[in-house]
Structure 1
């Protein structure tokens, strides 16, 4: 099953016990939506993504715990949080992504340039990715600001910039993470600017990008401070 959300709606978990299992949330053609402080797990692929954001604007996903398991094939579940169809100004913060193959896809198809180009502005801040395979995020055509995230035990690849996407990747930590920043799986490459990342002995493999500024104020913690700030805080940890 999947649940559609309407304009200006908010979905909050009141405490750390608030949870969904095998029920996707579908954010489609709406504006000003907040998703905050709940857990969602094991949404089967036939029910879509755990959270799917399409053709929507001004969406904030914050303090969520999103997972499945790695016991099935990579297509048994779909995405944990996917942003598609020219969505704009989506912020994903303080989310704990774990135990999953395909975590977070921005831009669903190499063939969707006409709709997506110039859109898909997304921010990933202060998230914790653990025991995951890929799409952390994978971004096509869009613009991604990826900062203050902690990655550990990444099986395949982390940040994947594709199809002309421009990403600014700064103040992140990667531990036992294969291909922390790369351009993979598409004929047309994407691009990355990297600043103050701890790649854990791995290296940036993406072509140099041009995204050096974003239109909002933010604080890059510095890679040395990311783990303490993120691990234990990301997830549905808020108390109301």
Structure 2
């Protein structure tokens, strides 16, 4: 029996549980139960006698507490009574996954290198060669690659960071390309003028489960952006990512004088965690942006809507902040269901109220637990 799992959990005693998938309401945090994730994208597979739970490619180890007690069995039985069966089957994360959320699903979708040959790289030279060109391909990064470089990614490419991999001082750039997926990468300390991830003059790009950071010990211009999206890009989705400890996090739209090109920009940002950032969370010029189900902690500045940008901002959460949403240069925002945590929203109300694609929103109260548990390089490949 297989069941959809919109809500997931971490169990400490499942010896009496046969292979089963679960769905339903949040399970009780009591005697052997603790909530690990609340969301609609993660699925847990529990095996009898196993010591791990798999979740879309993530494996979470847990200890056995000995033979099941009547109390533990009772808790589990109570939980099962609330579960509902769905006929749909759910896959774990794979190298062939395609974009399923946001603007990246439009205009033919974003498939990257799905179905193409796979190669694993562990050096800068091998990475640079493997991701070049427009042939369909999947490139997996293994280990730590260091350098002072920005690697250009060709069209029809999926780039995946394997568990524990990282790029230090090495950024990724999508320039004049289309149909690119970047998943599960950890990138840090890319020196200016490079960005950790840069997308320019490109279309149909999905960034998922990225871990992007630097430090704030240096001057603000020592590094550039963590995730810059500029020059008329369209069909961009950024999900399940972590951006932190940096000065200028994410610039969307090139400059105040580039409106003729950047008015076309379309970006979805969902289920991301932004923290310990000075500015650009993001700074958004001209185009349309949909930002939802994200967490903002201890940032010095808020979402900045500029130069006529139209933003739809739904069910996000802020803490330890004074500014949640603002405008310096005539941007607009429709803000719905957010928890500003005492921070301000000073942006004029815009006209972007419904995105051109379906979406399922987490309840605002569930956003923090869901996002903090899963954002960043948390998939297993």
TM-score over 0.5 for the pair: yes
State the Cα distance separating 1:239 from its structure 2 match. 1.3
Residue aligning to 1:153: 298
CA–CA distance in structure 1, aligned partners of residues 248 and 361 of structure 2: 26
- Structure 2 residue 286 is the aligned partner of structure 1 residue 138: no
- Which of 203, 208, 214 is the matching residue for 2:355? 214
CA–CA distance in structure 2, aligned partners of residues 152 and 104 of structure 1: 15
Q: Is the 8 A contact 2:252 2:285 kept in 1?
A: yes
Residue aligning to 2:268: 123
- Structure 2 residue 165 is the aligned partner of structure 1 residue 18: yes
TM normalised by structure 1 equals 0.95
Give CA-to-partner distance per residue, 1:101-125, whole Å, 9 cap, x none.
11111002000011112x1100100
State the Cα distance separating 1:178 from its structure 2 match. 2.7
Large movers: runs of 4+ above 6 Å = none
Query: Which 10-residue stretch deviates more, 87-96 or 216-225?
Result: 216-225
State the Cα distance separating 1:222 from its structure 2 match. 2.1
Residue aligning to 1:173: 317
Q: Equivalent residue of 1:208, what SS?
A: coil
Q: Equivalent residue of 1:181, what SS?
A: strand
- Structure 2 residue 337 is the aligned partner of structure 1 residue 193: no
CA–CA distance in structure 1, aligned partners of residues 345 and 219 of structure 2: 28
Residue aligning to 1:68: 214
CA–CA distance in structure 2, aligned partners of residues 197 and 149 of structure 1: 10
CA RMSD of aligned residues (A): 0.8
- Structure 2 residue 186 is the aligned partner of structure 1 residue 39: yes
* Structure of greater relative contact order (alpha carbons < 8 Å, 6+ residues apart): 1
CA–CA distance in structure 2, aligned partners of residues 133 and 169 of structure 1: 20
TM normalised by structure 2 equals 0.60
- Structure 2 residue 213 is the aligned partner of structure 1 residue 55: no
Q: Equivalent residue of 1:230, what SS?
A: helix
Residue aligning to 2:344: 203
Residue aligning to 2:82: none
CA–CA distance in structure 1, aligned partners of residues 268 and 366 of structure 2: 19
Which is higher, the Rg of structure 1 or of structure 2?
A: 2
Q: Equivalent residue of 1:22, what SS?
A: strand
- Structure 2 residue 219 is the aligned partner of structure 1 residue 108: no
Structure 1 stretches lacking a partner, 5+ long: none
Residue aligning to 1:162: 306
Structure 2 stretches lacking a partner, 5+ long: 1-148
CA–CA distance in structure 2, aligned partners of residues 28 and 67 of structure 1: 21
Q: Is the 8 A contact 2:192 2:224 kept in 1?
A: yes
Count of equivalent residues: 233
CA–CA distance in structure 2, aligned partners of residues 199 and 148 of structure 1: 13
Q: Equivalent residue of 1:236, what SS?
A: coil
CA–CA distance in structure 2, aligned partners of residues 100 and 216 of structure 1: 32
Residue aligning to 1:98: 244
State the Cα distance separating 1:3 from its structure 2 match. 0.4
State the Cα distance separating 1:171 from its structure 2 match. 0.4
